[in-house]
Amino acid sequence: MSLDVCAIGLGAIGALYAFALERSSRVRVTAVCRSNYDVVQEHGIDFVSDRLGTHAAWKPYRVVRTVEEAADRDYVFVVCAFKCLPDVITTPALLTPILARLATASQPTAFVLLQNGVGIEDDLLAALAETKPGADNVVISGCAWVDATAVDGGRKVTQFGNERLVLGYHHPAATLKTAASFSDARAHEVLDGFCGLLRAGGANVEAAEDVDIARWRKVLWNASFSTLCTLARVPVCAVLANDSSCAAVASIMREVLSVAHAALPPTQGLKEVLSDSVVNNIIEHENHESTFRPSMLVDLDAGRPMEVEAIVGGVLRRARAHGVQTPQLDLIYAALNVMQRELIKRRGSAGL
């Protein structure tokens, strides 16, 4: 029997991994397509992917417009591939109809957050603790290292070069009602199950021992490259082509590193993954010819709200909590926030 998986958000990342899940032949995907329902329902999605190959007009098992419509059944996994925009709608608010089912569900549901930023799991873990304390509803999150873009009005997803998805599970904070009954063994099992499905579908998946370290490693990139590319409205190669912007990227990354070291437990993993040399390594290994436009810039170009809160706001909240000064990130946040307010205002009732 096929496992029911709900994928919310069929942009480039959501489509790529929902497609991989169905290719495992063990899953049927209900896709919630809030802004691209017509395209997906009528045409399907074409893929031109270095990892998953070329495929025409893929349609998931079921396409719906809203989370309400999707919430007519229980799911083993709910993949949240929508943008993390707590300044527009929080994840628990968006998931309300699905969360409402959990109290009476016959099996636990695992939530998989495929989104940028740090601390994006906090509000969902808190909501789950109130929804059904003691239940095994695991929260997994993933860092997608993949140059994937939706083009032709969402009809086609292109993915070039490497594709790597680092996944791990989150512990509920000690103050939450779910903390006492949390089982690492069960969370591991759920994580392995999800990784296995994606691998069977051809994706390149890695299970992280400590997903928080993986998330901070990724936010180093997003808080520096994504933000500067967005503010300057240029692709990655343009930021790397200029000494002053290269120096700014490095200096912003160092600021993020100082927050990470204040916020995370001082484990060996932290010292290795987020060492002093990571900044130079990232800049040296970046493709200096890359015409890639980070998703934050793609959102700005399309007039959509950006993941400013998840990426920069997430780092700043941890910085404030641990008394770390972040003058560069404060400035970046202020500038992006002005743009974000305009985007949200203009978007208005046009829907997100």
Ligand X SMILES: CC(C)(CO)C(=O)C(=O)O
DSSP states along 157-176: EEEEEEEEEEEEE-PPPTTS
For ligand X, give the closer residue by CB, 109 or 340. Answer: 340
- Which residues, listed in sequence order, are joined to residue 165 by a DSSP beta bridge? 144, 205
Burial label, 178 (beta-carbon count in 10 A; 0-12, 13-18, 19+): buried
**Counting contacts by CB under 6 A, is residue 326 touching ligand X?**
no
**Distance in angstroms between the alpha carbons of the first and the last residue of the chain:** 34
Kindly state the smallest distance separating residue 61's Cβ from ligand X, in Å: 27
Confirm if 69 and 33 have CB atoms less than 8 A apart. no
Among 221, 230, 310, 314, interactor with ligand X by CB under 6 A: 221
* 162/325 with CB nearer ligand X: 162
Question: Shortest Cβ contact with ligand X: which residue?
Answer: 295
Q: Tokens in use for 50?
A: 């270095």
Min CB(169)–ligand X separation in Å: 20
The answer to whether the CB of 34 falls within 8 A of the CB of 65 is yes
Contact between 222 and ligand X by CB under 6 A: the answer reads: yes
146 lines the binding site for ligand X (CB under 6 A): yes
Among 37, 58, 145, 160, binds ligand X (CB under 6 A): 145
Strand partners, 8: 32, 80
Quick note: the x/- pattern for ligand X over 261-300, rule CB under 6 A, is ---------------------------------xxx----
Nearer to ligand X, 124 or 236 (CB): 236
Distance CA 291, CA 351 (A): 30
Question: Quick one: tokens of 108?
Answer: 């636990």
Q: Taking CB under 6 A as the criterion, which residues in 228-267 touch ligand X?
A: none
* Residue 159 binding ligand X, by CB under 6 A: no
Q: Minimum Å distance from CB 23 to ligand X? A: 21
**144 in contact with ligand X (CB under 6 A):** yes
Cβ nearer to ligand X, comparing 315 with 324: 315
Return the H-helix or E-strand segment holding 49: strand 45-49
Counting contacts by CB under 6 A, is residue 226 touching ligand X?
A: yes
Site string for ligand X, 97-136 (x = CB under 6 A): -------------------x--------------------
Q: How far is 16 from 198, CA to CA, in rounded Å?
A: 10
- Tokens (6 digits) for 113: 């957050």
Q: Which helix H or strand E contains 295, and what residues bound it?
A: helix 295-301
Interface contacts to ligand X, rule CB under 6 A: 116, 144-147, 221-222, 226, 294-296
